[in-house]
Structure 1
């Protein structure tokens, strides 16, 4: 009984420490009194929690501030630190690798990106490049007084729930690939050329590693970074070479039994259509994926990706009939697939991300037309929103997922640094 009571007390303390951190994150610099009022805790309790967080280096004290903005004895403004822990987010794309470091305030402090021919490349080669890029960005973060707390990687494929194994990534050609060994083993320090522990290792131990589908992390980025506009129930659909979706219900990501929920790119919209890399036929990706869009518009997809997408946008903006027809057909295919999701899930909103966000003005008319004609429930359709994160959603979602572990469980972070 005593052990249970101690465990319960520790859990309450952990939860309240986390609540204080999130309160300061949401309010900005705040006095102890303001935090206590927001959380419904006594000032004494909040002061004790704040002292612990100050000792952990997660909070800092700034100048005096009137309590609650009113008259009276000034309080001391509390703010999240701009040093200390950060999250490393990484993205494996078909044609690029990207890494960024985000501090506990949610600010991007370091970033790196390189081109990488990922399609049908050996996983070991791609992951070795990613490891070097992760360590370069981690080193940049360390020079800013930051210390990586975890690494999260966004991948364009199915990830077995609770593991670091990419079960199937058709656009990379990967099967049953565990990416943890490449990101956690000892490597060569790029500065000294010696075999040594790199910034992704703390006290000789690998950092916690999170691996998730890029659409899932993109959806979490929408939820966390644009919560004033995006509701707590939505379907997020994004495209690059492939198309992925993620479902958020009441603020929680729907993962499915094995963690494979959201593969909307492989929903057949025309069962007699062309063969897909997944083995199916007539999948959504064959009509609304990036290569399909470019091919239908008559634009070569074997050159620089950004240049090809810019050409498609320019042609659409100038009224090029072939480009407009390609985008209309892609919108129609999206509408067919999303109508099924709307009928099944009844979300409050649909969010277009990635390349879909860039071409939303031309996709929207045919997409909405299909939704209107195929949605069974009466009344208004779900709100159709365009992501403000552009193509950075999965990368930002990964970095924030890594750093939020500190905000969610400051006790474990403190234990990790010897507090």
Structure 2
């Protein structure tokens, strides 16, 4: 399958040839994470030889990617190397389940500022694109006032991302049809064009894939299948540390997997899609919490749903059990194809994992005389509610260090 970021970096704009690409990435990754470092320290930290560090550093200095700082020892023995773009920042905007969010972070991913606007305010739902444009404008203005050029601008959206130029597909907030979110933001936020005029490209990233990458990093695992139902239904497969997109950007998507042949008609045209059986909106409506979702917001509505389920409320409990049954059936279809070592469940689904696990295992085949009946593991996500933001920043960081010219100050 095609990796998510299919525009794989090429070094035709840099003096680093193919044999030294991985060495360059290791060096730059350390500098992004740890700041100015001497050549000797880089050799120790990366495991590369001193001569390799010296050669790569010389090429990156010539390209304007690295600079030499003042020698702290005063005798020329320890000259720290630093990124010439060390003051640049990552701007990440996200259509989260409950709010439009935009953040400003250092190249290392450390968050410096956050701006958020909830979708439900005073009992009224605001237009998601307008709110996203508002918080993104504030984030870009914050970076400008602080004198920090934008090294990367990423927009995270629920659903999938497909096409060239990239569009959002199957988003709960933006609709099932392809939606040119970046095009709309360019119209509403002048700062987007300013960033792109500086040689950057705004990117659209699926929340499920970004969160899955953050989960891999948090767990120290390179392979997993993840799913989350707080917004629409976000899912992704990570194989050897790479979120796979497939030929059209739709790989590992569960939302429009038709698992009930005579189920309700979906906006996509199919019948029995998981999105129509187990999305947060569907479950909340069937639990009698649709009005709370619209008026008070998704976070409060899901908290109340979980509270009622724990309290034994019949309507909430049956709404959830029906959804969990559908989720388990979807996993029964997908897991034998992907064969992941672990299924990671995030959001409120993770808080109610037992019912999903029971449904999933109720119709599993016996393999190798029962030796493989517990494969894969199914576990609650550990990366936290900001996993999509964390993963998107990591993707941005990886793109930058893989194409050093983007880090030239």
Q: TM-score range by the shorter chain?
A: 0.7 to 0.9
On the 8 A contact 2:192/2:202 being kept in 1, the answer is no
Provide the C-alpha distance between the structure 2 equivalents of 1:28 and 1:147, rounded to a whole number of angstroms. 17
SS of the equivalent of 2:289 reads: coil
- Structure 1 position 186, deviation (Å): 8.2
Aligned match of 1:352: 345
- Structure 1 position 325, deviation (Å): 3.4
Aligned match of 1:241: 231
SS of the equivalent of 2:295 reads: coil
Query: Is 2:233 the counterpart of 1:226?
Result: no
Provide the C-alpha distance between the structure 2 equivalents of 1:105 and 1:174, rounded to a whole number of angstroms. 34
On the 8 A contact 2:14/2:405 being kept in 1, the answer is no
Say which of 141, 144, 147 aligns to 2:143: 141
- Structure 1 position 322, deviation (Å): 3.5
Render the CA deviation track for 1:2-22: whole Å, top value 9, x for unaligned.
Answer: xx9998854445543221122
Say which of 104, 108, 112 aligns to 1:109: 112
- Structure 1 position 138, deviation (Å): 2.0
Aligned match of 2:403: 409
Bigger fraction of residues in strand: 1
Aligned match of 2:295: 303
Render the CA deviation track for 1:40-98: whole Å, top value 9, x for unaligned.
Answer: 4321332454577686468989989xxxxxxxxx9788788995222222122465311
- Structure 1 position 412, deviation (Å): 3.4
Provide the C-alpha distance between the structure 2 equivalents of 1:371 and 1:313, rounded to a whole number of angstroms. 23
- CA distance 1:201–1:401, change in 2 (3 Å): farther
> 284-293 or 364-373, which moves further after superposition?
364-373
Query: Is 2:378 the counterpart of 1:384?
Result: yes
Render the CA deviation track for 1:264-296: whole Å, top value 9, x for unaligned.
Answer: 022233222222232222222233211222233
Query: Is 2:23 the counterpart of 1:16?
Result: yes
Render the CA deviation track for 1:120-177: whole Å, top value 9, x for unaligned.
Answer: x99xx64454233212112223444532112111222332244322345365336333
- CA distance 1:201–1:6, change in 2 (3 Å): closer
Provide the C-alpha distance between the structure 2 equivalents of 1:81 and 1:5, rounded to a whole number of angstroms. 20
On the 8 A contact 2:36/2:81 being kept in 1, the answer is yes
On the 8 A contact 2:278/2:324 being kept in 1, the answer is yes
Aligned match of 1:98: 101
Query: Is 2:49 the counterpart of 1:42?
Result: yes
Unaligned segments of structure 2, at least 5 residues? 1-10
On the 8 A contact 1:294/1:312 being kept in 2, the answer is yes
> 345-354 or 198-207, which moves further after superposition?
198-207
Render the CA deviation track for 1:370-400: whole Å, top value 9, x for unaligned.
Answer: 3353245441321222222333222332333
- Structure 1 position 348, deviation (Å): 0.7
- Structure 1 position 34, deviation (Å): 4.5
SS of the equivalent of 2:228 reads: strand
User: Could you tell me the TM-score, scaled by structure 1's length?
Assistant: 0.77
Provide the C-alpha distance between the structure 2 equivalents of 1:104 and 1:335, rounded to a whole number of angstroms. 39
Provide the C-alpha distance between the structure 1 equivalents of 2:299 and 2:319, rounded to a whole number of angstroms. 18
Aligned match of 2:250: 260
Say which of 164, 167, 178 aligns to 2:166: 164
SS of the equivalent of 2:178 reads: strand
Unaligned segments of structure 1, at least 5 residues? 65-73, 188-196
Query: Is 2:89 the counterpart of 1:86?
Result: yes
- Structure 1 position 335, deviation (Å): 1.3
Aligned match of 1:190: none
SS of the equivalent of 1:340 reads: helix
The alignment covers a number of residue pairs equal to 384
Say which of 333, 337, 353 aligns to 1:340: 333
SS of the equivalent of 1:207 reads: coil
- CA distance 1:171–1:140, change in 2 (3 Å): closer
User: Could you tell me the TM-score, scaled by structure 2's length?
Assistant: 0.79
Render the CA deviation track for 1:335-380: whole Å, top value 9, x for unaligned.
Answer: 11112221111101111123323x2xx3324424433532454413
Provide the C-alpha distance between the structure 1 equivalents of 2:96 and 2:356, rounded to a whole number of angstroms. 28
- Structure 1 position 329, deviation (Å): 2.9
Say which of 324, 338, 343 aligns to 2:317: 324
- CA distance 1:61–1:309, change in 2 (3 Å): farther
SS of the equivalent of 1:389 reads: coil
Aligned match of 1:181: 183
RMSD: 3.7
Provide the C-alpha distance between the structure 2 equivalents of 1:226 and 1:39, rounded to a whole number of angstroms. 21
On the 8 A contact 2:345/2:381 being kept in 1, the answer is yes
